[in-house]
Structure 1
């Protein structure tokens, strides 16, 4: 039995001061304040005095890190996952962008084979297939040579059981709505993105089963007052969750605040869309088969772009995304935490297992300072990261 005590617990639905967590065989067995939770005499104690303990962070869109790109080298998923706990990430969707379909199959095989012996790290919760059924007019950093028209035979093996959890497509493409219905019936979360869909086409996609919007405002038409388009439809739909990259580059801070006001913590999902340069210095990297140039801008922030100037993912860590969301919106830490814990977990249908501190859930935990710096990360009750003292 493991006991975490003297913590400020953010579940994130409530705050428990002088909190106690009891963990057994990787799962939370009891949670509450010290006055109501007894500590077993033989428990191993972790004193979290002065720290906030929250659910582990979940990133629904991660292209790679530490110089590795998942699309170029799907076998790198387990290597990258070992390093993600330093930013509080305990679960993530490795994202495979537009490429030959064999790349998705290779990533499925990588997850099916499981981690190497002795491995410890963030849990790949399934794949995010971002493409290849995207609109060429909004291709972004995706190679147009590999874009395809929606076809059911291409997704025959795309199911949660075969490790595909999220698919981004352009719903206005011919045949897309049939694909949406098929994938949604299998339990795959379908997202609208890299799309020129107008408002009516977007609403038809929601009716067919689209429940997510990939990086709101990016790679979609602008929001206009007479033609709200896809972004307007995403903001208006109460049943649809939207992803946002709050790095101050992909979306202006004021627009992040407007998205927050429209969707709130239960329908806004913060993602990093980070690529191979995460955790690395400026330089040249890859996203799929494109070369990406990562440079430091005038603010001292690293920016990833293709040679054409097109944004190519981000170099944003999840803990920094959390801090920026609070800065841009004025929300509380508990509210912000929901966007990277319970909200993505609920979207994936795993909200009872992950994303909250509750009895029966996996003990995926992040220990934070009051200034929201990660000092310890635990996955299934095992410490995978401890910050070195400076």
Structure 2
């Protein structure tokens, strides 16, 4: 159902206002109000209106996995919209070429046209196969050197917006420049590389880090590793704030060091589902006690949704405005999207409406009101 008007405490790029917002043809046509501080927003009892969440690392949800093909990504985008994600990147697993072809062939149509009741699928995050076999995490071992030919074949099937690679793999540093020239963005991850490898990749044009701290060389004061390169030099990096993948203290350190640190879920098919076994690409994973793991106990993605990510950040001490930037605006900016991740005239009407406890009350995607998860 399309909406035409919202009232409440609305977060604009200049801060909160108590006012109204109008929508026309899926975009914000007018916004006005009087400034309000965070205390007033939390205590005056009006709805809190924030930019819709943007998740650049989504493997699954609602029992479906991006690598399944068919209408799996549509089901995933529906589940995450019900938790406030208004746009996302469907994220692949490291897999044989033919499996990636199957997955991206199915993704192409939903990237081209958003289905009613779903989040906008902005494109694909290719997480591998150009990674380090020694830092697979929960990725299957189908790694291989970077291939421009393979990338162009896949990109013709569905728009690839972001590529994760390990810079220390021979040839991958030289691979970055042609990727940038072709319009792709490059993140560093699943890497056993050194601090120097990370810095060299940033100098070549890599611009982010995939699930910071996880599946990369850690920080040591005499060998700072890939984490050290991120903390010392990165403007952007993604982090999974489920409080299981990364200790709250490490999240706080990253928040102080990386200006545009943004949140992702790295969610799997188990998101929004009961405990049990689920697919993650070609692997079977188990959801139990809030986490998702391989048989050997390795963390294998998450069950996180972005509404809970926002609440976790506020629980760590962030104000709502900063938490919103890290669940929406910075991710949009990282992809160069200036009409998403912010509420202002001309932007897409992607919004979440929350109560004082930051529980979702409404979700609007491109002007369409979405049925919420608790209404199922």
TM-score (structure 1 length as normaliser):
0.88
Q: Aligned partners of 1:369, 1:349: CA distance in 2, in Å?
A: 30
2-structure distance, mates of 1:253, 1:319? 18
Counterpart CA distance in 1 for 2:229 and 2:70 is 34
For 1:366 and 1:123, how far apart are their aligned partners in 2?
14
Whole-Å separation in 1 of the counterparts to 2:242 and 2:229:
23
Tell me: CA distance 1:309–1:382, structure 2 relative to 1, closer, same or farther (3 Å): same
2:121 to 114, 124, 130: 124
Q: Structure 2: which 5+ runs fail to align?
A: 36-43
Separation in 2 of the partners of 1:113 and 1:243? Answer: 27
Give the superposed CA RMSD: 2.3
- Aligned residue number for residue 282 of structure 1: 275
Alpha carbons 1:87, 1:318 under 8 Å: kept: yes
Shift, 1:34, TM fit:
6.8
Distance in 2 separating the partners of 1:66 and 1:149: 33
Instruction: Write the deviation string for residues 15-45 of structure 1: whole angstroms up to 9, x where unpaired.
Output: 112x11111111111111179xxxxxxxxxx
1:318 aligned to which of 306, 309, 314? 306
Change (3 A) 1:290 1:15: same
Q: Per-residue CA shift, 1:195-233, capped at 9, x if unaligned?
A: 011111111101111101000010011101111111111
Q: Tell me which residue corresponds to 1:94.
A: 90
Give yes or no for the alignment of 1:365 onto 2:365. Answer: no
Matches of 1:387 and 1:151, distance apart in 2: 40
1:211 corresponds to which of 204, 207, 215: 207
Which residue does 1:41 correspond to in 2?
none
Q: Output one character per residue of 1:318-363: Cα deviation in whole Å (capped at 9) or x when no partner.
A: 11111111222x110100100121100011111x221100111110
Contact kept? 1:215, 1:242, Cα under 8 Å:
yes
Rate the CA distance shift 1:348–1:116 in 2: closer, same or farther, 3 A. closer
Question: Which structure 2 residues correspond to residues 220-239 of structure 1 after superposition, within 5 A?
Answer: 220-238=216-234
Query: SS of the counterpart of 1:71?
Result: helix
What SS class does the counterpart of residue 74 from structure 2 fall into? helix
- Superposed, which structure 2 residues align to 1:130-149 within 5 Å? 130-144=127-141, 146-149=142-145
Q: Match of 1:246?
A: 241
1:382 counterpart = 2:376: no
The separation in 1 between residues aligned to 2:13 and 2:358, in whole angstroms, is 14
8 A contact 2:230–2:258 mirrored in 1: no
Structure 2 residue 21 is matched with structure 1 residue 21? yes
Are 2:182 and 1:190 aligned? no
Aligned-residue offset at 1:175: 0.9
Q: In the alignment, is residue 69 of structure 1 matched against residue 65 of structure 2?
A: yes
Q: 1:388 to 1:274 in 2, by over 3 A?
A: closer
2:245 aligned counterpart, secondary structure: coil
| C-alpha distance in structure 1 between counterparts of 2:146 and 2:343, whole Å | 39
The 1:197/1:249 distance shift into structure 2, 3 A limit, reads same
With structure 2 as the length reference, what TM-score do the two structures score? 0.92
Bigger Cα displacement from structure 2, 82-91 vs 279-288: 82-91
